[in-house]
Amino acid sequence: MSPAAEPARATASAEDRFEYVLRLGDTSLIAAQRLGALLGHGPALEEDLAIGNIALDLLGQARLLLALAGRIEGRGRDEDALAFLRDAGQFRNMALAEQPDGDFAETIVRQCLLDAWQLETYESLAGSRDRELADIAEKAVKECRYHWRFSAGWLVRLGDGTTESHTRVRAALEKLWRFTDELLSADALDARMAVSGIGPAPALIRERWETRVSAALAEAKLERPAQRHYPWHGKRGVHTEHLGHLLAEMQFLPRAYPGVSW
């Protein structure tokens, strides 16, 4: 199709683009903080390194995305200002990312559900009309492919493992499943971003996520929990109590010692 024949698209406002990029960047940042806090607590040296590697990948994505958000906003806030000088209500991460670790099964289930969403989202965003966002997505998708491989591998290992591991991973799945609705249900902003050709079509992400996760659950011999609507909307700034605690730890240093570096 020639460019002239392409249907006219709505242009997204800077406010919309800022909010949308924050959703992606904050989700990576909060997930990175969760995994980074596990360093030294992995069940084996090799797993500790794997989780640390994934945390660093996510942090790298967060830096690129928050720096981009700062440029779109145009008010002089850089990635550090956005990461360290906002309060919980201004964060736009998916509530799933901020859920605490509990046992290893909870960490794995949280990452698995989130990895599948990030992987499908970035795969689509690699074709975004926003070139800067597309470049970031193209880099992130390679990382996310490995993250999914790691977490889905463990999901199967735990689900199809011993009675104990199966019981724990099933409990984690029951506990965290309610947060998946937020990943897949588009709100008005998601819809506007799709229309403007920047964001992916929400229905497509849902379909691909369902296919990917269902296959992993079947291999792990786990039943898919019933879908539940949930009052948390992290991407609109309505978070669970856990985010405040996470931020208190993450933001302490730059708030207590402004401009500190080492």
Partner 1 sequence: MNEDWMLYEVFIRSRSGLEHKHVGSLHAADARMALEHARDTYTRRQEGVSIWVVRSSEILASDPADAEALFEPARDKVYRHPTFYAIPEEVKNL
Kind and range of the H or E element at 115?
Answer: helix 104-125
Burial 73-86 (b: 16+ CB within 10 A, else e): beeebebeebbeeb
- Neighbour count for residue 244 (Cβ, 10 Å): 14
Q: Which is nearer to partner 1, 162 or 261 (CB)?
A: 162
Restricting to residues 27-46, which ones interact with partner 1 according to CB under 8 A?
A: 43-46
157 touching partner 1, by CB under 8 A: yes
Nearer Cβ to partner 1 (84/146): 146
Specify the residue, 150 or 209, whose C-beta has the smaller distance to partner 1: 150
| 53 binds partner 1, rule: CB under 8 A | yes
Complex with partner 1: residue 14 or 49, whichever CB lies closer: 49
Please, which residue, 153 or 254, has the CB nearer to partner 1? 153
Site for partner 1 contains 9 (CB under 8 A): no
Residue 131 is given by DSSP the state H
Tell me the closest approach of the beta carbon of residue 208 to partner 1, in angstroms: 23
Q: Which of 18, 150, 177, 179 binds partner 1 (CB under 8 A)?
A: 150
Q: Which helix (H) or strand (E) holds 119?
A: helix 104-125
b vs e for 201-239, b when ≥16 Cβ sit within 10 Å of the residue's Cβ? Answer: ebeebbebbeebbeebbeebebeeeeeeeeebbbbebeb
Binding partner 1 by CB under 8 A: which of 10, 14, 39, 49? 49
Helix, coil or strand: residue 199:
coil
Cβ closest to partner 1, residue 210 vs residue 219: 219
| Cα-Cα end-to-end distance for the chain | 53
Q: Is residue 50 near partner 1 by the rule CB under 8 A?
A: yes
Q: Is the dihedral of CA 230, 235, 240, 242 positive or negative?
A: positive
| Two structure tokens written together for 12 | 């997204």
Task: Specify which residues 233 forms β-bridges with.
Answer: 238
- The reply to whether 20 sits near partner 1 by the rule CB under 8 A is no
Of positions 41, 149, 224, 228, contacts partner 1 by CB under 8 A: 149
**Is 153 a residue that touches partner 1 (CB under 8 A)?**
yes
The answer to whether residues 87 and 123 touch, using CB atoms and an 8 Å cutoff, is no
Number of residues that bind partner 1 (CB under 8 A): 13
Query: Of 5-13, 74-82, 115-123, 142-150, which segment contacts partner 1 by CB under 8 A?
Result: 142-150
Our CB check for partner 1 shows the closer of 68 and 144 to be 144
Q: Which residues bind partner 1 (CB under 8 A)?
A: 43-47, 49-50, 53, 146, 149-150, 153, 157
